[in-house]
Amino acid sequence: MTGLYYRARSYYQYSYIWKMHEALGGQFIIGKKSHLQVLQQRVGKANCHYKPSSQQLPDGVSGLILEMTLNKRNYLKRTDQFKNVLIYHGMGMDKNWKHRHFPVSRYDFYFASGEKDYLRYKHYSYGFKNIDKRIVKIGHIRSDLIINKKYDIEATLDQLGIKDRSRKNIVYAPTWSRGQGSLLKCFERFCLDIPQEHNLIIRAHPYDMEKYVNVRALIDKHRLQNIYLVDPNEIELIDNLAVADLLIGENSSLMYDWIFFDKPVILVKTGNKDLEKSRWATQKKFQVYSCGYTYNPGESNINQLIDKSLYGHPFSDQIKYVRDRTFYFNDGKANERAMDWVKDQLEKMA
């Protein structure tokens, strides 16, 4: 029987398909056992399959597989039993695939959020003639929740335990350490300075949560108040971002979600030249680094940058410029397009 499956390495990578699953159902394939329990709690044990092998599927699988995982070890061996769609779980694939040939023949289709997505698939196809036939123009799936305001700010503030709601909420969301995340470089300065004036909400990457031990030790040592540490497996990303008045982070996928809120952002300077150095990726029209002030660890005054960012929102026009040129459709209907396409494919495969 032809079915619908979702495949990812970790739980957080499924954030692009929750609306689709709610409407269409389907079963989940996950590769990390440590993330299996939280997935089972959300969709039920009967709908979850743990398959750690890079080319392994549940027995008898046939149908359409929506994949959020991409690396040289976690690809599926081709068979006639399924077709697969890559919905890559981020905007910065270049940092994972530099100096490697992109496995274009491993996927039947690619969901593209916009021109930046399209150009990277085309770049890594190395002249593969049929790449345009495999591209499906969808738009940025997670942006639907933001554009259509599908979040509850008060409920999330309650979940976070925010005490003083007269303060501005500053969310610091560094990417993971292997992507040159800045958590260990910046948390001490941010924890000592920002809570003097604002609430500081820290959302570590799911792979870096063990570093909260360092943050908690600093909080306890100085008896700091108005700092909140987020478990990304308990509070959904868009809900978390919705409570923020300003976001601090790096050149990561999360920043491309943030620009749909049209609120200030501060970018932490990292050694980003090795992350995105292809010509298609470094075009200014795609760069979140142009959408806010830059914080230089050990040099900049973070509270001064926050005040400058909040006063008059000086980068508002640039945020709109990058958003409108990075994504195909900013109409809040990306999920509709994706689901219509999926239903059509399943009918053809039945």
Residue entry with tokens 């920002």: 194
What is the Cα–Cα distance from 275 to 92, expressed in whole angstroms? 8
Which of 102 and 8 is assigned the larger pLDDT? 8
Average pLDDT over residues 305-310: 97
In this structure, what CATH number is given to the domain that contains residue 100?
3.40.50.11820
Residue 314 tokens read as 């000086």
Smallest CA-to-CA distance from 191 within 166, 157, 223 is with: 223
Examine the pLDDT at 157 and tell me if it is beyond 80. yes
Same domain, 271 and 206: yes
Same domain, 284 and 157: yes
Q: Which domain holds residue 29?
A: 3-140+330-349
Same domain, 162 and 284: yes
Average pLDDT over residues 236-262: 95
Same domain, 308 and 162: yes
Q: What is the pLDDT of residue 202?
A: 98
Q: What is the pLDDT of residue 107?
A: 85
- Which of 8-17, 102-111, 219-228: highest mean pLDDT? 219-228
Examine the pLDDT at 275 and tell me if it is beyond 90. no
Kindly give the pairing relationship between strand 3-8 and strand 27-30.
Answer: parallel
Same domain, 161 and 135: no
Q: Report the mean per-residue pLDDT for the chain.
A: 88
Average pLDDT over residues 313-339: 96
Same domain, 130 and 171: no
User: Domain count of the chain?
Assistant: 2
Same domain, 62 and 209: no
Q: What is the pLDDT of residue 99?
A: 45
Q: What is the pLDDT of residue 135?
A: 93
Same domain, 107 and 158: no
Residue type, 138: I
Rounded to two decimals, the pTM is 0.92
In this structure, what CATH number is given to the domain that contains residue 171?
3.40.50.12580
Same domain, 293 and 183: yes
E strand segments, the chain = 3-8, 27-30, 48-50, 63-67, 82-86, 109-112, 135-137, 169-172, 199-203, 227-230, 246-249, 265-268, 293-295
Same domain, 212 and 272: yes
Smallest CA-to-CA distance from 138 within 94, 64, 87 is with: 87
pLDDT band at residue 276 under the 50/70/90 scheme:
low
Which of 72 and 296 is assigned the larger pLDDT? 296
Same domain, 208 and 64: no
Average pLDDT over residues 188-216: 96
Same domain, 60 and 84: yes
Sheet holding 199-203, edge to edge: 227-230, 199-203, 169-172, 246-249, 265-268, 293-295
